[in-house]
Amino acid sequence: MATIKALIPGLFLTYLISATLASLDMAGGTLAVHRAALADYHVYWPWPLFVGLTGLSRALVWMME
């Protein structure tokens, strides 16, 4: 259950960081930020950052239970 609860903060923080990097015209470097096509929209999305932040969020939710 902690993993499901951790997806929301993981998604939000990943989007926030990648949107900030994209607005500053930064490539992201080791975060591997790339432009992903989602239907008719283009978003910047880093999978390694998403996995890391979701893992961190999961640990925090698990400790609070």
Pairwise CA distance, residues 42 & 60, whole Å: 31
Closest CA to 17 of 47, 58, 39: 47
The pLDDT score that the predictor gives to residue 20 is 85
Predicted confidence at residue 37, as pLDDT, reads: 82
The pLDDT, as a whole number, for residue 26 is 76
Task: Please report where in the chains the tokens 């998604």 appear, as a residue.
Answer: 11
The answer to whether residues 36 and 43 touch, using CB atoms and an 8 Å cutoff, is: yes
Q: What is the pLDDT of residue 53?
A: 93
pLDDT of 22: 79
Residues of the chain with pLDDT under 50: none
> What's the pLDDT at 10?
93
In one letter, which amino acid is 44? Y
Contact 5, 61 (CB under 8 A): yes
pLDDT of residue 58: 95
